Structure 1
Amino acid sequence: MNKLVLDIGGSSIKYAIMNETADILERGNESTPLDSFESFISVIRKIYDKYKDDIDGIALSAPGTIDPKSGLILAPGALSFNYKVNLIDKIHEFTTYPVSIENDGKCAALAESWIGNLKNCKSGIVLVLGTGIGGGIILDGKLWSGSHFFAGEFSYLAQGELTGFDNVFALKGSATALVMEFSKAKKIDFSDVDGKKVFELIVAGDEDAISALKKVAHNLALEMYNLQCIFDPEKICIGGGISQQPLLIEEIKKELNTIYSKLPFEVPHVIVEQCMFYNDSNLIGALRNYEFNKKF
């Protein structure tokens, strides 16, 4: 039987009807209500009511620190009204179907490990570059969540002395960081440009855009090297919208090779690739998580 799979984001809730092999049979999206939990859950119920006769389970991907066994959202990410909410229990108020939930970055890692570019890898890391940097860690073929379900929250990694949320990886290696670096160099407002425009200017030879890319790629490579020293992954896969730009992957590889060349000893060179799935990665990973953590 098919599953209703939802990818909850800060601006939209993407949903799909998927079979057990992750084929998307039907899809759509709704704007994410930001005013209250009641508005939010009403949209989920609306989607459920549309498909309830065609499914036998619900799988969710969502932002925040999440206990996938219980469904409790320990830290809500972009949706503050979800703080300490057990979303599985709330959904069970209008359905008896099994429900599962997992962090969106971890879902991306599950998707790659299941049928993507980490398939057959015993160890690997996924970095999802967006507003911040999410992702997940695969160890011995399984998703590693850590003691408090916080593993893979790469946005919080320090890149210098921390004063509040300054000097964190989210502001140094994300799509946001690329736009910030470029807008600062051009002395323009951050909201007047986006990542797509920056890459257009990189291709056109704009020196400020190229410099911004090199700086962000360096920050990414440095943190990836640190992660390599801790986890020794076979691969690190890069996801998020800007990962579709081959120039980014090429620049990261160059920066990593520069780091390796400066070491006075030989270390393994990690393989860096794009993720196989982009906008569908969270849906695919949420479906995979359903098999492990569905709650009746």
Structure 2
Amino acid sequence: MKACMVFDIGGTFIKYAVMDKNAQLLVSGKLATPKEGLESFLLTLQRIVEQYSADFDLQGIALSSPGSVNVKTGFIGGASAIPYIHGVNMAGLIRDRTGLQTTIENDANCAALAEGWLGAAKGSDYYICIVIGTGIGGSIVLNQSILRGASLHGGEFGYMIMGAPFQGDPLQATWSHVASTNALVVEVEERKSLGEGMLNGEEVFRLAEEGDPIAQECLAELYKRLAIGIYNLKYALDPQKILIGGGISKRQEVIAGINRELKGLINEISTLSIEVEACQFGNDANLIGALFHFLNDKGRFEE
């Protein structure tokens, strides 16, 4: 059976799947991301490919990766929790090891492409995906293609400065610093006089649900900060749809809270009705998007 080997490279785990051209997962699994270095990483992927090449007619390898991915050269710029993947032709190295044509795309872009192909943005020509986690990232998608920007930083929404630039260091008031899940956790810890790392996002939401006033206040402020950034993006880019991704997007109260704040940003000058939706895909989004990128790049599986 013709299929594609797909990898989602993460700082903690590598997820893998054998997928058909319709994004059906024929096989899937995950294993710890090697810490030893590049050679161990390449050997791990090579062995997985060899394991499944006996049972499937593998047409190629599709990679989802952190960092500033150059899809044309196969190099990964920027930085991530996996230092050894940067500055090398990752697609070329894997192709040389396996003999299979290999494509690579940024993980946030993969998630966005998945939504446009089969998810919440299906049928939309122009949309943005905002991924909220440790920081804030995302993608701009036009006609099923990523708008990458001159330096591959298109969609890096988290760099927007949200505070008054003359009050202290403006780079401490970026959207990632003030409105990410990590920012929420840090703010609650500081206001409750807890040590760093004492809480995580899930625990903050649990505290809010139990009536903790500090957690509730910080969440309300988070929704306002997210709404302001989304308002700016809507007026700057004017997409058809705005999708919210990341673990936080699974909570209906988050989407409702953001939309509630967005409704308050309408007056006689600001007349646009702005609304966000949650991304449809969760853990498999990067795999699905990586496959879409492979199919789009290579055209189709060979007959």
Deviations along 1:202-221, whole A, 9 cap, x unmatched? 22221111111112211111
Structure 1 residue 234 displacement after superposition: 1.5
Whole-angstrom distance in 2 between the partners of 1:70 and 1:267: 43
Contact kept in structure 1, 2:9 and 2:63, CA below 8 Å: yes
Deviates more, 1:39-48 or 1:271-280: 39-48
Q: Residues 164, 94 of structure 1: CA spacing in aligned structure 2 closer, same or farther, 3 A cutoff?
A: farther
Aligned position for 2:253? 247
Find the counterpart in structure 2 of residue 79 from structure 1: 82
1:157: how far off? 2.1
Partner of 1:228: 234
- 8 Å Cα contact 2:130/2:242 also seen in 1: yes
Q: How does 1:73-222 map to 2 (within 5 A)?
A: 73-160=76-163, 161=165, 163=169, 166-222=172-228
**Alignment equivalent of 2:277, drawn from 264, 273, 291:** 273
Q: CA shift at 1:20, angstroms?
A: 0.8
Secondary structure in 2 matching 1:90: helix
Per the alignment, residue 16 of structure 1 pairs with 17
Looking at structure 1, the residues matched to 72 and 243 of structure 2 have their Cα atoms a distance apart, in angstroms, of 26
Deviation track 1:22-57 (CA, whole Å, cap 9, x = no partner) reads 111211111112342222222222322222232221
Residue 264 (structure 1) shift: 3.2
Kindly state the Cα deviation for residue 224 of structure 1 after the two structures are TM-superposed.
Answer: 0.7
Gaps in structure 2 of 5+ consecutive residues: none
SS at match of 1:255: helix
Question: 2:48 & 2:181 partners in 1: Cα distance?
Answer: 30
Q: Which position in structure 1 is the counterpart of 2:26?
A: 25
Displacement, 1:271? Answer: 2.8
**Structure 2 vs 1, CA of residues 23 and 228 (structure 1 numbering), >3 Å: closer, same or farther?**
same
Distance of 1:186 and 1:152 partners within structure 2: 34
**Normalised TM-score (structure 2):** 0.91
Q: Distance in 2 between matches of 1:89 and 1:164?
A: 40
Q: Secondary structure at the match of 1:93?
A: helix
CA contact (8 A) 2:126 2:239 kept: yes
Q: How far does residue 222 in structure 1 lie from its aligned partner after superposition?
A: 0.8
State the shift of 1:143 in Å: 2.1
> What SS does structure 1 have at the residue aligned with 2:276?
strand
Separation (CA, whole Å) in 1 of partners of 2:52 and 2:170: 44
Q: Say whether the 8 Å CA contact 1:234–1:271 is kept in structure 2.
A: no
Partners of 1:105 and 1:152 within 8 A in 2: no
Structure 2 Cα separation of the partners of residues 209 and 101 of structure 1: 40
Q: Distance in 2 between matches of 1:194 and 1:75?
A: 26
Conservation of the 8 A alpha-carbon contact between 2:161 and 2:170: no
**Which residue in the other structure is 1:46 paired with?**
47
Q: Is 177-186 or 271-280 further displaced after alignment?
A: 177-186
SS in 1 for 2:172: coil
- Please identify, of 126-135 and 36-45, the stretch whose mean Cα deviation from structure 2 is larger: 36-45
Show structure 1 runs of 5+ residues with no match: none
Contact 1:22 1:284 in 2 (8 A): yes
Q: Cα deviation per residue 1:180-235 (whole Å; 9 max; x = unaligned)?
A: 12111211123121111111122222111111111221111111111111110121
Q: Relative to structure 2, which stretch is displaced further, 275-284 or 80-89? A: 80-89
Query: 1:119 deviation in Å?
Result: 0.8
Please tell me the root mean square deviation across aligned C-alpha atoms, in Å.
1.8
Distance verdict in 2 for CA 1:15–1:125, change over 3 Å? same
Percentage of pairs with the same residue: 38
**1:243–1:45 CA distance, 2 compared to 1 (3 A):** same
More displaced, 226-235 or 166-175? 166-175
8 Å Cα contact 1:99/1:294 also seen in 2:
no
SS in 2 for 1:77: coil
Aligned partner of residue 25 in structure 1, secondary structure: strand
Counterpart code for 2:285 = S
Q: Tell me the distance in 1 between the aligned counterparts of 2:13 and 2:171.
A: 25
Number of aligned residues = 293
Aligned-partner residue type, residue 281 of structure 1: A
Calculate the TM-score normalised by the size of structure 1. 0.93
Q: Distance in 2 between matches of 1:189 and 1:46?
A: 42
Q: Give the distance between the partners of 1:267 and 1:33, measured in 2 at CA.
A: 51
Give secondary structure in 2 for the equivalent of 1:166. Answer: helix
Secondary structure (helix, strand or coil) at the match of 1:92 reads helix
- Report if the CA contact (8 A) 1:236-1:271 is conserved: yes
